[in-house]
Structure 1
Amino acid sequence: MNGGPSGFNNAPITRTFVIACCLFTILFGIQGRSNNLGLSYQDIWKKLQLWKLIVSVFAFSSTPELMFGAYLLYYFRVFERQIGSNKYSVFVSFSIIISSLLQLFAQAFLNDPALSRLTSGPYGLIFSSFVPFFFDIPVSTRFRVSSLSFSDKSFIYLAGLQLLLSSWKRSLIPGLCGILAGSLYRLNVLRIRRLKFPELIASFFSRLSLPSVGGTSPTPPPRNVPSFAARPVEGNHGGPMSSAPEPPEDSIATLVSMGFDRNSARQALVHARNDINAATNILLEAQAH
């Protein structure tokens, strides 16, 4: 299971965020200050160290947290491709601001010495993204290990669980606040899902981040028209397939129920060899242009 085509094409916000997280984590890790970067009610409200509001969003407390966090951020780039970088930047800002406020309120309310400083890192954004991941990304493969049933989404959930429990209560609170922030966004509180930033602000990230690996992005196709529609489906040896397998009707119905056009859904499944998850990514990629 993946988050669409490899690389950061059409995902400049995600690319900037991942690069910033890596740089901040390494920088403060070298200085030995990683354990003092998490949100603290005392630091923000009483000492007015507002710079920690920014640093705590980007710098993870440890290398393992960075690895799991960067992997999840990279996977969740599929949502930026789905709704576009402008609206995704609104989602990022909303998730970070709301989850950070909720974390500070939780510290003040619980008054637990163990929670005097929470773990640092973009927990708010990562766990907000689990809300659309749960509702909008379909299961394409199911399998069993002994008596336990798993799906291709299980690996993402396991990575999230590892990150959520990495520092026990210090990471559990930021994760739960992120899930709550994502739920508020999905409920369209204050019509947040209709909000868009001025194009100048949204395009700033495209100029700020490094070029994507793999060269220049292809010319985007017309909106809602899948880019594979005008080219033949290729076989294993590079030539056009003489007879592509007809997609199952239930797979087409699943994509149609998600709001995609029936003909586009069928073509996506043909191109993806009836892999419904890959077909979904193709359709989302086409829709994002």
Structure 2
Amino acid sequence: MNGGLPGFHNAPASRALVVAAALFSVPFGFRGRFLDLGLSYQNVYERLSIWRLITSLFAFSSTPELIFGAALLYYFRVFERQIGSNKYAVFIVFSTMVSVLLQILALGYLKDPSINPLTSGPYGLIFASYVPFFFDIPVSMRFRIFGLSLSDKSFVYLAGLQLLCSSGRCSVVPGVSGILAGLLYRLNTFGIRRLKFPEFVTSLFSRVSWPYSSNPYQGLPTTENDANISSHQVHQTQDAHAATQDPTESSIAVLVSMGFDRSSAVQALVMTNYDVNLASNILLEAQALQQ
């Protein structure tokens, strides 16, 4: 799975989420089947437990779930780069709160002992992220395996399907709740997409995990923090790749079909050594800066 530029460059919120999931899962999640960390009818409607609510949001209950969940959180950092850490933090809070509310309502309505407890972990956020992934991330490559037509997005869907079905109905309810939360965010319910946190709130994300000592992608225009990049830097990068061959017309056509002008498409392809995925991410992120 390729979520754009490697590492957590300009994605402090995503980095904090991955670190939090790992830190909570190690002491709690690996014993989650015994501790029942997920939400259940009893611990929500009969005896509300705050610590259980917190661990249910972050701690994966098994090693495979942690691996797939952390990989998806890492991939979906592309959305933080597109809309900026501030708006992405709003998306995190909204999708998490709405998905938890929907899970609580589902427990109260179903009262089914077979889904008690629900699977723990940031399922709401992960599956809410599949909504912008479906609508906003383009297909850049198609291929066939054993007669099946697949794309580069298929692997991300397969990872999500594995996570969704990891615990049967206990994981389906949080997953579906997350998808509904993502749809409500996309529909701009209550004008949520216009909201922003105070800047000091989002700046805390960069302090909860280890900072990078250096980043080779520091000069690329990938987030709102890079709005002051100069055209001189772009031309320097373009000149550095001048000796290589021109980008293929098919790659340019893919980017142009997404609505980008030809000159921007060519420049992005040159900057990324003709990687269509990276080029489309850079163009989408640069476009978000202008909104």
TM-score (norm 1): 0.89
The corresponding residue for 1:223 is: 227
CA contact (8 A) 1:225 1:264 kept: no
1:266 counterpart residue number: 266
What CA distance in whole angstroms lies between the structure 2 residues aligned with 1:38 and 1:45? 14
Letter in 2 for 1:253: V
Query: In structure 2, what is the equivalent of residue 14 of structure 1?
Result: 14
Q: Distance in 2 between matches of 1:143 and 1:50?
A: 47
Is the counterpart of residue 254 in structure 1 residue 257 in structure 2? yes
CA change 1:261–1:84 in 2 (3 A) is farther
Q: For residue 113 of structure 1, what is the aligned residue in structure 2?
A: 113
Secondary structure in structure 2 of the residue aligned to 1:38: coil
Please say if residues 31 and 61 of structure 2, whose CA atoms lie closer than 8 Å, have aligned partners that are also in contact: no
Which stretch shows the higher mean deviation, 96-105 or 276-285? 276-285
In 2 relative to 1, CA 30–139 (structure 1 residues): closer, same or farther, beyond 3 Å?
Answer: closer
Partner of 1:58: 58
Q: Distance in 1 between matches of 2:94 and 2:56?
A: 16
Q: Does 1:244 align with 2:249?
A: no
Query: In 2, are the aligned partners of 1:265 and 1:279 still within 8 Å (CA)?
Result: yes
> Partners of 2:162 and 2:30 in 1: how far apart?
24
The verdict on how the C-alpha distance between 1:86 and 1:148 changes in structure 2, with shifts beyond 3 A counting, is: same
Q: CA deviation at 1:41?
A: 2.8
TM-score (norm 2): 0.88
How much has 1:214 moved relative to structure 2?
4.2
Structure 1 stretches lacking a partner, 5+ long? none
How many residue pairs get aligned? The number is: 283
Which residue in 1 is equivalent to 2:280?
A: 280
Q: Counterparts of 1:6 and 1:213 in 2: how far apart (Å)?
A: 15
The Cα shift of 1:86 comes to: 0.3
Check whether the contact 2:83–2:285 (CA below 8 A) recurs between aligned residues: no
| Distance in 1 separating the partners of 2:144 and 2:106 | 39
Q: Spell out, residue by residue over 1:88-137, the C-alpha distance to the aligned partner (whole angstroms, 9 max, x if none).
A: 00000001000000011011111111112101000000000000000100
User: What residue in structure 1 maps to residue 93 of structure 2?
Assistant: 93
CA contact (8 A) 1:21 1:58 kept: yes
Taking the aligned partners of 1:252 and 1:60, their CA distance within structure 2 comes to: 37
CA drift of 1:48 comes to 1.8
What letter matches 2:247 in structure 1? Answer: P
Q: Tell me the CA shift for residue 263 of structure 1.
A: 2.9
- Greater Cα shift, 57-66 or 242-251: 242-251
Letter in 2 for 1:223: A
CA RMSD in angstroms, aligned pairs only: 2.5
Quote the Cα distance in structure 1 between the aligned partners of 2:26 and 2:283: 36
Deviation at 1:181, TM superposition (A): 0.3
Residue identity matched to 1:254: S
Moved more, 30-39 or 178-187: 30-39
Q: Secondary structure at the match of 1:162?
A: helix
Q: What's the CA shift string for 1:170-192, capped at 9, x where partnerless?
A: 00110000000000000000010
Per-residue deviation, 1:287:
4.9
Q: Which runs of 5+ in 2 are unaligned?
A: none
SS in 1 for 2:144: strand
1:76-87 superposed matches below 5 A? 76-87=76-87
Cα drift, residue 255 of structure 1: 3.0
Identity %: 57
Partner of 2:184: 184
